[in-house]
Amino acid sequence: MHLPPARRGLLCAAAFIAACGCARHTARVPTAQAAPAAPPSVRPAGDRSLPPSADDHSLPPGVDLSKLDDFGRKVFFRVVRSESSACGKGESLLDSAKHDGACRASFYALRYVARLVDSGYTDSEIAEKLVKRFRSGRHPHIDVSGAPVKGNPSARVTVVEFVDYECPHCRHAQELLHRLVEEYPDDAKVYYKHYPLTSHPNSRLAAEAAVAAHKQGKFWPYNEGVWAVSANLGPALLEKIAKEVGLDMARWRADKDSDAVRERVQDDKSDGDGLGLQGTPTIYINGRKYDDPLESSSLKDWIDEELGR
């Protein structure tokens, strides 16, 4: 479906909440970086110099173009013939998905391109999204020691979420990730890390209160209580939630005001700063930064790719 620029702009604006719904108070200007050079044997993304596949209108099972009109199909095939394999090999993305069984990423890249075309993205915008999802590096060493975790501890897919308690987009993310753990009970786990923004005055206080609850083994009920009133956070409400979940109040108050708890929250914040976070929620899936809209189908597509389904 081809959309006029104005409508496509609205869609792209809606998609922005994927990884940076609530922005940092003081935005950092990203330093321009040169794109990494492709190995000599790999065709750079966007190179249209090589001939397209002879049977470029056949697709592997599971790639659905039914939502695309004739114009959208032309854009789709133009992109998947010109973009290279998602596994860094020399063939086109289309040929890789059809003939390289070892490169499942190209299959997911085809489905991804179809969804982006349907949303009105241009060729260059799609190329940029492909780079972010399939050709950017992973961050395999995000520190989750001591972080609250939900799901199977031995799951193959690790989701790390950086959140701010006063960010409305983070509240929406909680519902999606809770559902995700339910749908992948054996295969996905979610770690929770705090990233309080300076523009939200009660967020750090809420994070420290939640860490204090975690020390009594009641992070998740406390966390749910905070999200239920996240639009009106304050010291009195945080105390009320602590009583409702049955915390030892004297211990909770002492922990909440302790240097150890403050340092724990700051450690999470510093980890996020080290990763270059610009806002919340920011989500990593097996070390890859999630860069798509906060919606169930997109999150599941990323999880399925990691599982090789």
pLDDT tens column, 258-281: 999 999 999 999 999 999 999 999
pLDDT for the residue numbered 252: 98
**Ramachandran angles phi, psi of 132, nearest 5°:** -65, -40
What integer is the mean pLDDT of 104-126?
Answer: 95
Q: Which residues contact 89 (CB under 8 A, 6 or more apart)?
A: 42, 96, 100, 103
Q: What class does CATH assign to 149-297?
A: alpha beta
What integer is the mean pLDDT of 43-48?
Answer: 43
pLDDT tens column, 197-211: 989 989 999 999 999
What gap in Å lies between CA 171 and CA 153, rounded to an integer? 23
- According to DSSP, the β-strands at 188-194 and 149-151 are antiparallel
What gap in Å lies between CA 37 and CA 140, rounded to an integer? 22
With 0-12 / 13-18 / 19 or more C-beta atoms within 10 angstroms meaning exposed / middle / buried, residue 125 is middle
What gap in Å lies between CA 235 and CA 299, rounded to an integer? 34
Give the mean pLDDT of the chain.
85
Checking if the pLDDT of 16 tops 60, the result is no
Structure tokens at 167: 């960010």
Give the dihedral sign, CA 188/193/199/204: positive
Exposure class string for 253-263: b at 16+ Cβ within 10 A, else e:
eebbeeeebee
What gap in Å lies between CA 223 and CA 216, rounded to an integer? 13
27 and 278 Cβ atoms separated by less than 8 Å:
yes
291 and 19 Cβ atoms separated by less than 8 Å:
yes
8-state DSSP, 132: I
pLDDT tens column, 117-140: 999 999 999 999 999 999 888 887
What gap in Å lies between CA 175 and CA 12, rounded to an integer? 22
pLDDT tens column, 162-174: 999 999 999 999 9
pLDDT tens column, 227-252: 999 999 999 999 999 999 999 999 99
pLDDT band at 7 (very low <50, low <70, confident <90, very high): very low
Q: Bigger pLDDT: 105 or 50?
A: 105
